[in-house]
Structure 1
Amino acid sequence: MEQVTRVGFIGLGTMGEPMASRIAASGRFDLALYDADVRHARALGERLGARAVDGPGGLADREVIVMMLPTSAIVRDVLLDEVDRPRIPAAPGTVVVDMSSSDPIETVDTGTLLARAGYALIDAPVSGARERAIAGTLSIMLGADDAAAAERAIPVIETMSSGIYRTGKLGTGHAMKALNNFVAAAAFTAASEALIAGERFGLDAATMVEILDASTGQSFVTSHVLPAHVVAGAYASGFALPLFTKDVRIAQRVQQAAGHAAPVCDAVTAAMGDALDALGNVDHTRAVEFWRGR
């Protein structure tokens, strides 16, 4: 199979910037960058030795285009115009890799429209937050209908990842990411409730988290989120409350599509939604402050 050399990256935010940096650091690809903040893209391009373009159309010569954007609606708007024609006049066979936390139903729809124009869309959302994006050790959940397209993209994805998990057809990666984040949100919500109850009963928060993390209540939340960002008061995990809530709502839709009752998911979605309504665009760890006040 012909080796991919020309890669484009769209979306250079909290996660996209370090992910693009890992691609550049590999030294294996000719990298071009695009972001809605063109000045930021240019500055990053100068730092990485990559070329910044002024619009998505500037990526027309790329063989693989990676996207890291806030929602699947934005992904679609970047890729397709108002009458569902591609905005990027790329060559047939171009592979688009959506690494965003997208809605799997919307992903399948966008993939169908792109396929008509000769593109291949694969979904490859990530887990691991900014810290692991910087280290290049993200976990990737990869869904694809076109196995050959996935194989073309994997050398690019490997520069950002410590593990690629093949989940099945197009959309399954995004479904898995949403369900993973629902589980994480459930742990965060439950641990926060326990922390608040313990504080009111006279327990020390730091002691509680230490015991939870050494006991059967242990999770990523007790190991990484609560100690630094709630107990120590940093509230700077890098994962915004609107994005976390969006992912949980996607998971709720996935569960509804499966046709079964999901009372835990419904409760977590409601709790996250209440915090979002009250707090707006803040780090998700500040939800504890809302729940504590309530």
Structure 2
Amino acid sequence: MSGGTSPVAGVRTVGFIGLGTMGDPMVTNIASSGAFERVLVHDVDVERAAALAARIGAEAAADITHLSACEVVVLMLPTSAIVRAVLVDDDGAPRIPSPRGTVYVDMSSSDPTETVETGRLLAAAGLHLVDAPVSGARERAIAGTLAIMMGADDEDAAGRAVPVVDTMSARIFRTGGLGTGHAMKALNNFVAAAAYTASTEALTAGARFGLDPAVMVDIFNASTGQSFVTTHVLPDHIVDGRFASGFALPLMTKDVRIAQKVQRATGHDAPVCDAVAGALGDALDALGNVDHTRAYEFWNER
């Protein structure tokens, strides 16, 4: 995206809430794009926000109400419950005194049913919620090449969100109304988690039968078993023993459980999703907050 402000969308000031593993590089790309006059950042870790703001030429908003100056506010938080708690109080009133027409963009991996409810509360105050979760992990967040799944009920709001999201993305997929982006993200992560569960199970069986795990991965990647898991996760974090993908086990488990809810809402059985959720849940109970690749160690020992 070219420098300067965005006259079509009228977005000059952008806010960003949540400066963790993904949020840090994402807002760095927003600031470095030169497309907006001001970028304001906020995090519960005030020192982290101040340090990041200094590094990328943004402004740290110690108080979340300072984000009322923004036309678009992006959120990258652990759960939809936290997103709701940040945006509305217990009575459903907005916490940030934003003017009518402000667009909030939830790029977290959120529960779509909760997204729809939060959007309803914001809409009552004349505010807009767009869901735009991401896929691509930290390396693509750094490169600004994330895939985005965007859901929105209001096309004008989506139009104002797009110039901001463009600075972080290689491609934006429009998925439908509000909540559909988050539903798609959960289902995508279920597919990835299923591939991870199946491929690590195969590695364990193969190793016990005398196969070399590194050779197995090479064969997966030259055969029909190939996936993102076999090309990136297995060689970089399982075979080499690094276990540092940057995607936490609680987050993967949460996403698969959201996918379970989405599938149950459609009224059909989802035995594979149930099995993957169960396997991840067992690992989470045993290991706690670790990188999701550590689940392999638990399954292997069990």
Range into which the TM-score falls when normalised by the shorter chain: over 0.9
2:218 corresponds in structure 1 to 210
The one-letter amino acid of 1:4's match is V
Distance 2:193 2:116 in 1: 25
The one-letter amino acid of 1:127's match is S
Matches within 5 A, 1:56-67: 56-67=64-75
Instruction: Give the share of equivalent positions with the same residue, in percent.
Output: 69
Dislocated runs of 4+, deviation >4 Å: none
Q: Does 1:46 find its partner at 2:54?
A: yes
Distance 2:182 2:221 in 1: 29
Residues 261/40 of structure 1: CA separation in 2 closer, same or farther (3 Å cut): same
2:24 corresponds in structure 1 to 17
Query: What's the CA shift string for 1:145-185, capped at 9, x where partnerless?
Result: 00110001100000000000000000000000000000000
Measure how far apart 1:55 and its partner are.
2.1
Distance 2:119 2:98 in 1: 15
Distance 1:60 1:220 in 2: 40
Measure how far apart 1:120 and its partner are.
0.3
Measure how far apart 1:3 and its partner are.
2.1
Distance 1:31 1:53 in 2: 10
Matches within 5 A, 1:275-290: 275-290=283-298
The one-letter amino acid of 2:11's match is V
- SS of the residue corresponding to residue 41 of structure 2 reads strand
The one-letter amino acid of 1:9's match is F
Distance 2:223 2:104 in 1: 43
Measure how far apart 1:272 and its partner are.
0.6
2:199 corresponds in structure 1 to 191
Matches within 5 A, 1:1-294: 1-29=8-36, 30-294=38-302
Measure how far apart 1:224 and its partner are.
0.1
The two structures have a TM-score, normalised by structure 1, of 0.99
- SS of the residue corresponding to residue 69 of structure 2 reads coil
- SS of the residue corresponding to residue 212 of structure 1 reads helix
Query: What's the CA shift string for 1:233-274, capped at 9, x where partnerless?
Result: 000000000000000000000000000011100100100111
Distance 1:6 1:50 in 2: 11
Query: What's the CA shift string for 1:188-219, capped at 9, x where partnerless?
Result: 00001000000000000100011011100000
RMSD: 0.6
Does the 8 A contact of 2:256 with 2:277 survive in 1? yes
Distance 1:220 1:129 in 2: 11
Distance 1:131 1:2 in 2: 29
Distance 1:263 1:63 in 2: 43
Query: What's the CA shift string for 1:83-104, capped at 9, x where partnerless?
Result: 1111100000000000000000
User: How many residue pairs align between the two structures?
Assistant: 294
Consecutive unaligned residues in structure 2, runs of 5 or more: 1-7
The one-letter amino acid of 1:39's match is E
Distance 1:82 1:3 in 2: 32
The one-letter amino acid of 2:195's match is A
Distance 1:78 1:21 in 2: 22
Distance 1:83 1:249 in 2: 27
Measure how far apart 1:2 and its partner are.
4.6
Distance 1:191 1:134 in 2: 27
Does the 8 A contact of 2:217 with 2:234 survive in 1? yes
The one-letter amino acid of 1:204's match is D
The one-letter amino acid of 2:147's match is S
The two structures have a TM-score, normalised by structure 2, of 0.97
- SS of the residue corresponding to residue 129 of structure 2 reads strand
